[in-house]
Amino acid sequence: MLDKLKMDLLKARKDKDELRTSVLSFLIAGVNNKEIELRGTGEVFGDEHVEKVIRKQIKNHDQSIEAYTSANRSELVERETAEKKVLEEILNAYFPQA
């Protein structure tokens, strides 16, 4: 799964898609952090952990959207919404049953 995300990141960079590149970079960093967190726990890192990281980042974007909306920061709401949409696309592409 991580390899697929890295390939998507390379494609986004080649396509000069700054938003997707940013989201994928942050997502891959989150996945790597989760993998490091699991070391020594005896738990095997798998696709379910990748899905949890994606869902957590979507939830974080929801919270940010809510905060920026109440602060009347429409430009930040737009950015968070766009990033959330990319994460949802990734989630649906890799975990269609989700």
**What is the tally of structural domains in the chain?**
1
Q: Among residues 10, 17, 35, 27, which one has the least CA distance to residue 94? A: 27
Domain that holds residue 85: 2-94
CATH number of the domain that 34 lies in? 1.10.1510.10
How far is Cα 52 from Cα 12, in angstroms, rounded to an integer?
A: 23
Interval 12-32 mean pLDDT? 97
* Alpha-helix residue ranges (DSSP H) falling in the chain: 2-14, 18-38, 47-70, 74-94
Q: How far from the centroid of its chain's Cα atoms is residue 34's Cα?
A: 13
Q: For residue range 27-76, what is the model confidence (pLDDT) as tens digits?
A: 999 999 999 999 888 888 999 999 999 999 999 999 999 999 999 999 99
